[in-house]
Amino acid sequence: MQTIDPRGMTVQSWTALSTFYISPYGSPPKLTDADQWRDWANFVVSLPAIAALNPPRPTGFSDWDAWANQFNRVAQLLVT
């Protein structure tokens, strides 16, 4: 799966762009409230194809972009 570098982006922008690449595996909701990024991330890491790769859980991160970087490392292993 192609990933989006989160540097210099808002969490809403990153999730909107990332949703395009995640869409073959499921349909995450649109993130409208930046404070709810963990809910969005929990949905994504629970999608069966992504969950099978043991992605990082967002609860262990205080910053969304730190989680996004770790998530990207795992997501690159997905083949569409």
Whole-Å CA distances, 49 to 28, 35, 36, 37, 78? 14, 26, 23, 20, 8
Asked if residue 6 is part of any domain, the answer here is no
Q: Is residue 58 part of a domain?
A: yes
Chunked into runs of 10 residues, the chain (80 residues) has average pLDDT values of: 94 97 95 97 97 96 97 87
- Structural domain boundaries, residue 52: 11-75
- Residue 59 belongs to a domain: yes
Under a CB-based contact definition with an 8 Å cutoff, are residues 43 and 71 in contact?
Answer: no
How many beta carbons lie within 10 A of that of residue 25, not counting itself?
17
Is 3 within the bounds of a domain? Answer: no
Which pTM does this prediction carry? 0.93
Contact status, residue 24 vs residue 80, Cβ threshold 8 Å: yes
Length of the chain: 80
In a domain, 5, yes or no: no
Domain count across the chain: 1
Reading the block at residue 77, the tokens are 């292993």
